[in-house]
């Protein structure tokens, strides 16, 4: 090529570049004007987007459930609801009252009859005589005649027991965390958030691995010549309640510790200076400040365990059916009308409870770190103190928490590589074999993992902007903000199952639109949306307190310096709430990975199953494969939580 040709080539290239530059600059101007328009209206656009997603993906499905329960062939009817309300199978003895609400006389008569049948006896018993200790103990015997609870009654009953267990297990933890200093205290305190993001189905399998016939506990007891005991088979309710405590005791502890640490030590010291003993000061100053927190924790626990699903499904099955499990069963039998009716009644109950909770919560002042929090003493300063009754009790409690909290997770991992007594990789080999040779209709491990991760990333992409937008709008809206907040928090009160059938009946089956169009959302999209709707309240819950805690003068300073409202949001507010956004994102990710209730409904018959669904499907006669799959789920959940936290951590200061 001659020099001249090369020169011409260079000129051509240059002019081509020039054209491109011109095109880019035209584009840039266009983008610029679009950008300035967007800057001015960004929040409005995002707000409308969020409202649209909520309307179509949350309110519409829930509305569909209500319509299905309340309408028959387009005619409003009360028969479905009445059928359920007056069926003793569902409402036990209350069904009679619902059936004839005005027959007060006969209800009172049966109440009197029931009370009359209660027998109280007092006797001396020798409970320890088996051990050769003839110690008489006054024994108060209380016998109540059988009371038919019905499905709802049983659900509330187990929720009540679970609440008591959670508070009983959570309060000592709160006491230790708030009053003693020891290595790992802060870590332990942050770990109390962990159970919340662990997939329910995985925890259930963990409890299986711990308390099952061939479980860790029996192995340990067998080593000292006891057992084996059939814990799960003989008392499934106890195991279910323990699993609920696994979830909720840390919640109770967390809320109570926060309240405890916000107690101003000077208030206690003032009480002491006025003549109150240490015990009296605790009762008069500390307890009244803890009580609301404990009650908050108990109320939340009750709401959560009332709507429990995967744990009961996996550990109790239909013999322990709660409302959720029964609804799931009705859906499996394609009895949608009854499922919807039950779902509506459950939702009304849980909405009522949630409303009570929100009212109660808003009446409390926020728990802020006190100016001078109570002092913490060393847990085990020396041997002598370590042997005091109080310290020994703490050690005993520590052992219990090991069994309840560490046991199931450790058993899960251990159980996945052992069989009876020896080390084995059979369970993983089964999964690998299934992956390699399984039929397409079977549940394969790899697609489950891939789906879980994909859905989680997609959930993140939807839930984080939604959550942040709701936070910003709530913070801006002033008094209207409470309304926005309440409407946006509805997902917390609607169980996954109810939401699942709503999506199934509304969006998956499709809704006819005028003009022959059909609005239909199926498979993966429906699942992602369900996850996003379930997850975004956690983003909001993490971001809102930070946002409302910001000094308004900060934004005003930025605006006085020339920043538009939008720029102030971008430059000042969002960077300062970044830690909340990251925490919310981690939650959203983990919730998506662990979500079971609506996924199991939406994934049935399709290929969009996720890891928790796979765990449930493997949970057959041999628990090994399910335990192995559960371990993989544990690893993926933990890893993703760490990754999101690390990646996000860079944005924190």
Binding site for another protein (CB under 8 A): 551, 553-554, 556-565, 567, 571-572, 575-576, 578, 653
By C-beta, is 29 or 564 nearer to another protein?
Answer: 564
Least distance to another protein, CB of residue 556, Å: 6
d(Cα 220, Cα 231) in Å, to the nearest integer?
Answer: 14
Least distance to another protein, CB of residue 551, Å: 5
The tokens of 312 are what?
Answer: 């009961």
Least distance to another protein, CB of residue 576, Å: 6
Q: Annotate 161-202 with three-state secondary structure.
A: HHHHHHHHHHHHHHHHHHHEECCCHHHHHHHCCHHHHCCHHH
SS3 state of residue 121:
strand
Least distance to another protein, CB of residue 558, Å: 7
By C-beta, is 402 or 554 nearer to another protein?
Answer: 554
| DSSP per-residue codes, 596-613 | -HHHHHHTTTSS---HHH
By C-beta, is 562 or 620 nearer to another protein?
Answer: 562
End-to-end CA separation in angstroms for the chain: 58
Least distance to another protein, CB of residue 193, Å: 24
Least distance to another protein, CB of residue 653, Å: 5
Nearest to 651 by CA among 593, 585, 556, 587: 585
Query: How many CB atoms sit inside 10 A of residue 619's CB?
Result: 20
By C-beta, is 391 or 567 nearer to another protein?
Answer: 567
Contacts of 527 (CB under 8 A, 6+ apart): 455, 598, 599, 602, 603, 608, 610
Least distance to another protein, CB of residue 363, Å: 23
The tokens of 36 are what?
Answer: 């300035």
Least distance to another protein, CB of residue 546, Å: 12
By C-beta, is 335 or 571 nearer to another protein?
Answer: 571
Least distance to another protein, CB of residue 564, Å: 6
By C-beta, is 276 or 574 nearer to another protein?
Answer: 574
By C-beta, is 478 or 515 nearer to another protein?
Answer: 478
d(Cα 566, Cα 339) in Å, to the nearest integer?
Answer: 46
Is residue 105 within 8 Å of 167, Cβ to Cβ?
no
Indicate the helix (H) or strand (E) that contains 423: strand 422-423
By C-beta, is 521 or 577 nearer to another protein?
Answer: 577
Least distance to another protein, CB of residue 484, Å: 21
The tokens of 51 are what?
Answer: 């409202």
Q: Annotate 23-73 with three-state secondary structure.
A: HHHHHHHHHHHHHHHHHHHHHHHHHHHHHHHHHHHHHHHHHHHHHHHHEEC
Least distance to another protein, CB of residue 650, Å: 13
| DSSP per-residue codes, 299-312 | HHHHHHHHT--HHH
Query: How many CB atoms sit inside 10 A of residue 324's CB?
Result: 24
Is residue 177 within 8 Å of 188, Cβ to Cβ?
yes
Indicate the helix (H) or strand (E) that contains 119: strand 119-125
By C-beta, is 272 or 565 nearer to another protein?
Answer: 565
By C-beta, is 101 or 562 nearer to another protein?
Answer: 562
Least distance to another protein, CB of residue 472, Å: 17
By C-beta, is 409 or 581 nearer to another protein?
Answer: 581
SS3 state of residue 378:
strand
Contacts of 610 (CB under 8 A, 6+ apart): 448, 451, 452, 455, 527, 593, 595, 599, 603
Is residue 173 within 8 Å of 393, Cβ to Cβ?
no
**Residue with token string 């200790």:** 133
By C-beta, is 509 or 651 nearer to another protein?
Answer: 651
Alpha-carbon distance values, 357 to 299, 301, 305, 437, 479 (Å)? 7, 11, 15, 51, 19
SS3 state of residue 438:
coil
Least distance to another protein, CB of residue 578, Å: 8
By C-beta, is 81 or 576 nearer to another protein?
Answer: 576
């Amino acid at each position: 090529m001659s020099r001249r040709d090369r020169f011409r080539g260079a000129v051509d290239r240059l002019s081509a570049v020039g054209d491109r530059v011109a095109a880019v600059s035209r584009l840039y101007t266009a983008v610029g004007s679009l950008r300035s328009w967007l800057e001015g209206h960004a929040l409005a656009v995002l707000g409308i987007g969020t409202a649209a997603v909520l309307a179509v993906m949350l309110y519409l499905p829930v509305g569909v459930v209500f319509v299905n329960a309340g309408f028959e062939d387009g005619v409003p009817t009360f028969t479905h609801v009445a059928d359920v309300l007056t069926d003793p199978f569902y409402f036990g003895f209350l069904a009679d009252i619902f059936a004839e609400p005005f027959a007060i006389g006969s209800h009172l008569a049966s109440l009197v009859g029931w009370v009359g049948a209660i027998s109280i006896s007092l006797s001396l018993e020798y409970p320890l005589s088996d051990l050769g200790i003839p110690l008489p103990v006054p024994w108060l015997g209380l016998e109540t005649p059988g009371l038919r609870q019905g499905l709802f009654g049983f659900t509330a009953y187990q929720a009540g027991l679970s609440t008591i267990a959670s508070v009983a297990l959570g309060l000592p933890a709160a006491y230790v965390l708030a009053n003693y200093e020891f290595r790992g205290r802060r870590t332990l305190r942050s770990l109390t958030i962990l159970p919340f993001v662990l997939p329910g189905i995985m925890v259930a399998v963990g409890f299986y691995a711990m308390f099952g016939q061939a479980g860790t506990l029996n192995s340990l007891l067998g080593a000292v010549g006891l057992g084996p005991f059939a814990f799960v088979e003989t008392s499934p309710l106890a195991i279910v309640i323990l699993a609920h405590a696994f979830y909720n005791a840390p919640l109770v502890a967390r809320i109570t510790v926060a309240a405890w640490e916000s107690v101003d030590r000077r208030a206690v010291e003032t009480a002491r200076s006025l003549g109150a003993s240490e015990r009296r000061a605790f009762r008069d100053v500390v307890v009244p400040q803890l009580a609301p927190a404990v009650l908050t924790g108990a109320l939340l626990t009750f709401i959560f365990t009332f709507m429990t699903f995967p744990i009961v499904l996996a550990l109790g099955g239909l013999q322990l059916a709660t409302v959720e499990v029964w609804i799931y069963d009705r859906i499996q039998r394609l009895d949608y009308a009854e499922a919807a009716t039950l779902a509506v009644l459950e939702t009304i109950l849980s909405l009522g409870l949630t409303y009570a909770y929100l009212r109660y919560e808003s009446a409390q002042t926020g728990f802020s770190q006190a100016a001078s929090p109570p002092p913490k003493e060393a847990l085990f300063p020396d041997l002598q103190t370590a042997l005091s009754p109080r310290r020994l009790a703490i050690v005993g409690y520590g052992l219990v928490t090991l069994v309840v909290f560490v046991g199931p997770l450790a058993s899960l991992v251990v159980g996945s590589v052992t069989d009876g007594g020896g080390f084995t990789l059979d369970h993983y080999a089964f999964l690998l074999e299934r992956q390699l040779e399984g039929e397409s209709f079977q549940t394969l491990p790899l697609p489950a993992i891939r789906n879980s991760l994909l859905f989680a990333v997609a959930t993140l992409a939807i839930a984080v902007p939604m959550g942040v937008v709701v936070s910003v709008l709530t913070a801006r809206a002033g008094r209207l903000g409470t309304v926005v907040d309440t409407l946006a928090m509805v997902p917390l009160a609607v169980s996954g199952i109810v939401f699942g059938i709503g999506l199934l009946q509304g969006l998956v089956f499709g809704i006819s639109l005028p003009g022959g169009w059909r609005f239909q959302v199926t498979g993966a999209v429906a699942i992602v949306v369900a996850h996003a709707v379930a997850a975004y309240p956690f983003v909001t819950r993490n971001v809102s307190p930070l946002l409302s805690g910001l000094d308004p003068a900060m934004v005003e300073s930025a605006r006085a310096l020339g920043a538009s409202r939008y720029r102030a949001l971008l430059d000042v507010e969002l960077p300062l709430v970044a830690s909340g956004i990251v925490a919310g994102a981690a939650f959203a990710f983990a919730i998506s990975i662990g979500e079971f209730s609506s996924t199991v409904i939406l994934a049935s018959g399709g290929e969009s199953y996720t890891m928790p669904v796979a765990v449930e499907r493997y949970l057959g006669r041999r628990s090994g494969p399910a335990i192995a799959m559960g371990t993989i789920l544990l690893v993926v959940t933990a890893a993703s939580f760490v990754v999101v936290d690390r990646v996000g951590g860079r944005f924190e200061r």
